[in-house]
């Protein structure tokens, strides 16, 4: 079954059936107000923080799933239908949902009535616009009852789902001039409220959920819609909603446009009330006035589209392969921005109440969007660094609203510090802004700020000071693989592996951190050298060399790199093991870092990955899967074989292998891996794949799982950034470096003529590549018509146009 297709010209994914294998969603908003919206119109909204400032309610793990969100019911005679099919699930004569850049449009038709619903969050406004156009395409007059409903969340999403002894008594609303204001807790410590409005007179309203659904009723067949009447109750406790009833009469050929608005408003303390007990609605009125007509909505929509055009104009390719072009030009970059905005908080898999911003996650996410939003990336790096401990370790997560490290999870993930170096190096390579190194940034709990450079130094030294018996890095609680918990020894099913207390851990070592240290250590050395810190650079280089030696002495297993030593000093990821003989991470990192090239190790390791880990749907993280729980390994062995870190295709690490293949000179293999997990190449297997065909998922079930190829956890994953790095910087080969843009493509034979444009440090590069299978030595590069000897092309003056031609 096929559920949709790409519309490249419009930068949209067009969903043509509403019964997708899983809700296929989109994100609205890029500043403070965010919404998730599914192809049925399901989803929820929040302001800045999905947990603490949730505006509308969403019931997770619900059946039927995805039946809450912004709901519109059209009652035409005895038929009741929703433009997005759910929740009534009345058959539609036509249905189409277009997810675009920051907006979603759903169009459907039933019995000669068409609905066209446009949803977006305008720039610079804390609201979601819902514009609904109803048209009469039949030959007779239509008299319709339209109901629009939204259910409020009582702000704190966690509390909202658990603390019923309190919150079933706290709900409060106000209704004024047909606008519903949600004001729970506004009397006490909150100075914010939400509202729902429509730019037309309403025939009725309701604010109490039970009055709308009927007792024991649901949103599939709400009683109020069945009896065509909203009672107009003012909610007092229980579950406040905003519901409107509009009577619409349409002559043949006539249309009616309505603008619904879900808004969020903060009032300064002194201006909370207009009269005792009455909310001051001045700001809400001003917000409504900005979007109270079609022309204003259209202008805001054009502004949003222009801003996305600008964001996507920094990198584009025309390669002759439309599946590649649409991912690179549109969807991969779009997902990178979304991941940057959301971190791992709110998706249809992440409930928005769990995690803050991860230290390592955001440092990697940045790599995918620093070319689009360098200033925001800079600020994020400063925020992240300020949660670092004075010893160079780091809080694993922090909360975006408070910018404080998260104490429940703590620190001790020994890969974390290195990602900061990678993020800052990536930022400098993109922007040339060396001044970031001198920015004052405090360490957690230290009053006097140090410089950003000092943070990088302590990050580097954190590894140097935490080496184990083989002079390889101690793993701490875990490294990038959150589930390789070599010091936990968890036997209590009630404890989380992520927060379980680790033993002192002076034995278990990580070969992934070792590989990272070599590769990222090179960046650090460069940074020292280029800022005149020669001694430090030499010192760092010596440490990197020692790490290479330690890997060669203790990290090679004969056919591939080991993954770790456990806390008894036993090998993990070795042919000596029964299960988990080979893991992908250390092989990819050591190959990227060219460790042991003189012995041919990178190629051998990559061959082993290909032979033992690569599947049709991507590279599994390890093999064979653990069949039993290993207390000395932790969560990795807790998942059933083929899922997640236990031998799933953990997409995040696949691009590391692609990059390593490019480094090793095997362009064809790199592109082959790229296509195996890239969603646009998997459109033919939508039914199996299940998740959205326009974004990466974190995990695809591995070969040991019953439904190999089935994806889960779409959208918020480091996969987005790393695939963009792999495809843009390595396969297409346009790579920011300290001195300029390196143009070093690793194109497979099938990509013969490739044209790229890249904005870089204020210049615009137009790059043409002719690929006729020359050897690297025979390659030629011309810049503005002149042959050059180096493939690093420095930027020119602000605004310069730089033409690069590569013959390869
Ligand atoms: C999740 C986490 C990430 C971790 C990965 C592997 O994606 O967000 O931090 O590295 O899992 O365990
Ligand atoms: C679990 C998941 C892993 C995730 C971690 C953090 O360990 O398997 O992917 O990174 O939780 O929440």
Residue 517 CA to chain centroid, in angstroms? Answer: 26
pLDDT digit string (tens) for 260-292? 999 999 999 999 999 999 999 999 999 999 999
Q: What percent of the chain has pLDDT over 90?
A: 95
Residue nearest to atom 9 of ligand 1 (CA): 361
CA nearest to 547, candidates 480, 453, 468: 468
Mutate to test the pocket of ligand 2, among 339, 478, 483, 634 (most ligand atoms within 8 A of CB): 483
Residue 383 CA to chain centroid, in angstroms? Answer: 19
Beta bridge partner(s), residue 399? 404
Ligand 2 pocket list (CB less than 6 A): 482-483, 497-498, 635, 644-645
Do residues 40 and 51 lie in contact, with contact meaning Cβ atoms separated by under 8 Å?
Answer: no
Mean pLDDT of 524-553: 98
d(CA 311, ligand 1 centre) in Å: 27
pLDDT digit string (tens) for 308-356? 999 999 999 999 999 999 999 999 999 999 999 999 999 999 999 887 8
The structure tokens listed for 309 are 């055009």
Q: Residue 708: helix, strand or coil by DSSP?
A: coil
- Strand blocks (E) in 390-473: 397-399, 404-405, 440-441, 450-451
Residue 554: pLDDT band by 50, 70, 90 thresholds?
A: very high
Mutate to test the pocket of ligand 1, among 365, 384, 482 (most ligand atoms within 8 A of CB): 482
CA nearest to 518, candidates 544, 539, 542: 544
Residue nearest to atom 3 of ligand 2 (CA): 482
pLDDT digit string (tens) for 618-663? 999 999 999 999 999 999 999 999 999 999 999 999 999 999 999 9
pLDDT greater than 90 at residue 126: yes
Half-sphere exposure of 444 (CA within 13 A, CB side): 20
Lowest mean per-residue pLDDT among 495-499, 760-764, 777-781: 495-499
Residue nearest to atom 10 of ligand 1 (CA): 480
Residue 500: pLDDT band by 50, 70, 90 thresholds?
A: confident
Mutate to test the pocket of ligand 2, among 482, 635, 639 (most ligand atoms within 8 A of CB): 482
d(CA 622, ligand 2 centre) in Å: 16
Mean pLDDT of 683-711: 97
What is the residue whose two structure tokens read 């346009």? Answer: 734
Torsion, CA 419, CA 421, CA 424, CA 429, rounded to 10:
-110
Beta bridge partner(s), residue 142? 250
d(CA 728, ligand 2 centre) in Å: 28
d(CA 346, ligand 1 centre) in Å: 15
Mean pLDDT of 739-765: 98
Mean pLDDT of 772-791: 95
d(CA 61, ligand 2 centre) in Å: 19
pLDDT greater than 90 at residue 548: yes
What's the distance, Cα to Cα, between the start and end of the chain in Å? 41
**Diameter of the chain by CA atoms?**
86
Q: Pick the ligand that lies closest to the CA of residue 358.
A: 1
DSSP character string of 726-780: IIIIIIS-EEEETTEEEE-----TT--EEEEEEEETTEEEEEEEE-S---GGG-E
DSSP character string of 528-581: HHHTT-HHHHHHHHHHHHHHHHHHHHHSB-SSSB--EE-TTS-EESSTTSSS--
User: The dihedral of CA 427, 430, 431, 434: what is its sign?
Assistant: positive
DSSP character string of 248-302: EEE-TT-EEEEEEEEEEEE--GGGSEEETTEE--HHHHHHHHHTSSHHHHHHHHH
Q: Pick the ligand that lies closest to the CA of residue 363.
A: 1
Q: Which helix (H) or strand (E) holds 142?
A: strand 142-155
d(CA 644, ligand 1 centre) in Å: 10
Supply the pLDDT for residue 313: 97
Residue 534 CA to chain centroid, in angstroms? Answer: 39
DSSP character string of 294-351: HHHHHHHHHHHHHHHHHHHTTEEEE-S-HHHHHIIIIIHHHHHHHHHHHTTSBSSSSB
Supply the pLDDT for residue 502: 79
Strands 71-76 and 79-81: antiparallel
- Indicate which atom in ligand 1 lies nearest the CA of residue 358: 9
d(CA 20, ligand 1 centre) in Å: 27
Mutate to test the pocket of ligand 1, among 480, 496, 697 (most ligand atoms within 8 A of CB): 480
Residue nearest to atom 10 of ligand 2 (CA): 482
- Indicate which atom in ligand 1 lies nearest the CA of residue 478: 12
- Indicate which atom in ligand 1 lies nearest the CA of residue 480: 10
- Indicate which atom in ligand 1 lies nearest the CA of residue 713: 7
User: Would you please indicate which residues are annotated as catalytic (active-site) residues?
Assistant: 482
pLDDT digit string (tens) for 347-404? 999 999 887 899 999 999 999 999 999 999 999 999 999 999 999 999 999 887 778 8
Supply the pLDDT for residue 176: 97
Q: Residue 104: helix, strand or coil by DSSP?
A: strand
């Amino acid at each position: 079954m096929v559920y949709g297709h790409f519309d490249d010209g419009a930068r949209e994914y067009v969903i043509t059936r509403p019964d997708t294998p899983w809700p296929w969603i989109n994100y609205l908003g890029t500043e403070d107000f965010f919404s998730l919206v599914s192809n049925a119109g399901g989803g929820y909204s929040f302001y800045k923080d999905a947990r603490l400032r949730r505006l509308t309610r969403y019931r997770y793990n619900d059946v039927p799933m995805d039946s809450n969100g912004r709901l519109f019911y059209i009652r035409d005679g005895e038929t009741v239908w929703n433009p997005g099919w759910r929740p009534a699930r009345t058959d539609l004569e036509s249905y189409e949902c277009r997810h675009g850049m920051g907006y979603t449009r759903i169009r459907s038709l039933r019995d000669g009535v068409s609905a066209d619903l446009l949803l977006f969050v305008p720039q610079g406004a804390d609201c979601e616009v819902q514009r609904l156009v109803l048209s009469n395409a039949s030959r007779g007059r239509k008299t319709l009852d339209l109901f629009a409903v939204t259910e409020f969340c009582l702000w704190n999403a966690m509390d909202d789902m658990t603390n019923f002894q309190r919150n079933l008594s706290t709900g409060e609303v106000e209704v004024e001039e047909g606008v519903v204001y949600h004001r729970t807790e506004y009397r006490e410590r909150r100075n914010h409220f939400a509202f729902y409005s429509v730019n037309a007179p309403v025939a009725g309203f309701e604010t109490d959920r039970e009055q709308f659904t009927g007792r024991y009723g649901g949103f599939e067949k709400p009683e109020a819609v069945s009896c065509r009447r909203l009672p107009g109750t003012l909610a007092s406790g229980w579950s406040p909603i905003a519901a409107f009833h509009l009577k619409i009469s349409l002559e043949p050929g006539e249309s009616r446009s309505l603008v619904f608005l879900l808004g969020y408003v903060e009032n300064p303390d002194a201006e909370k009330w207009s009269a005792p007990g009455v909310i001051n609605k001045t700001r809400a009125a001003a917000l409504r006035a900005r979007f109270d007509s079609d022309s204003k909505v259209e202008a805001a929509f054009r502004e949003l589209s222009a801003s996305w055009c600008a964001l996507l104009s920094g990198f584009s390719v025309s390669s002759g392969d439309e599946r590649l072009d649409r991912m690179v030009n549109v969807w991969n970059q779009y997902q990178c921005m979304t991941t940057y905005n959301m971190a791992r908080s709110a998706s249809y898999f992440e409930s928005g109440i769990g995690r803050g911003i991860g230290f390592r996650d955001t440092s990697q996410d940045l790599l995918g969007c620093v070319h689009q939003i360098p200033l925001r990336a800079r600020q994020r790096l400063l925020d992240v660094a300020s949660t670092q401990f004075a010893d160079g370790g780091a809080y694993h997560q922090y909360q975006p609203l408070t910018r404080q490290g998260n104490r429940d999870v703590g620190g001790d993930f020994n890969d974390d510090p290195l990602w900061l170096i990678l993020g800052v190096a990536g930022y400098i390579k993109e922007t040339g802004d060396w001044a970031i190194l001198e920015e004052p940034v405090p360490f957690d709990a230290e009053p006097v700020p140090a410089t950003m450079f000092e943070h990088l130094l302590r990050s580097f030294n954190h590894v140097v000071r935490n080496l184990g018996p083989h002079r390889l890095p101690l793993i701490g609680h875990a490294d990038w693989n959150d589930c390789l918990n070599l010091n936990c020894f968890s036997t209590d099913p009630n404890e989380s592996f992520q927060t379980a207390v680790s033993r002192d851990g002076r034995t278990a070592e990580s070969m992934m951190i070792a590989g990272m240290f070599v590769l990222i250590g090179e960046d650090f050395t460069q940074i020292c050298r280029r800022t005149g810190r020669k001694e430090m650079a030499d010192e760092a280089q010596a440490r990197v060399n020692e790490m290479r030696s330690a890997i060669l002495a203790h990290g090679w297993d004969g056919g591939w790199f080991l993954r770790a030593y456990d806390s008894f000093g036993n090998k993990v990821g070795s042919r000596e093991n029964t299960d988990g003989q080979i893991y992908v991470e250390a092989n990819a990192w050591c190959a990227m870092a060219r460790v042991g090239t003189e012995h041919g190790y990178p190629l051998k390791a990559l061959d082993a990955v290909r032979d033992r880990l690569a599947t049709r749907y991507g590279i599994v993280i390890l093999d064979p899967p653990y069949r039993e729980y290993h207390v000395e390994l932790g969560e990795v062995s807790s998942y059933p074989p083929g899922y997640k870190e236990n031998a799933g295709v953990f997409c995040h690490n696949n691009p590391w292998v692609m990059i390593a293949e490019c480094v090793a000179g095997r362009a064809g293999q790199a592109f082959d891996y790229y296509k195996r997990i890239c969603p646009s190449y998997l459109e033919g297997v939508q039914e199996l794949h299940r998740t959205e065909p326009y974004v990466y998922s974190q995990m695809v079930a591995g070969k040991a799982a019953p439904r190999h190829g089935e994806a889960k956890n779409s959208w918020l994953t480091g996969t987005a950034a790393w695939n963009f790095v792999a495809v843009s910087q390595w396969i297409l080969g346009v790579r920011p470096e300290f001195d300029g843009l390196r143009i070093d493509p690793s194109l497979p034979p099938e990509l013969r003529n490739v044209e790229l444009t890249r904005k870089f440090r204020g210049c615009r590069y137009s790059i043409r590549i002719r690929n006729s299978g020359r050897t690297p030595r025979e390659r030629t590069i011309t810049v503005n018509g002149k042959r050059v000897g180096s493939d690093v092309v420095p930027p020119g003056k602000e605004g310069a146009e730089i033409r690069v031609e590569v013959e390869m």
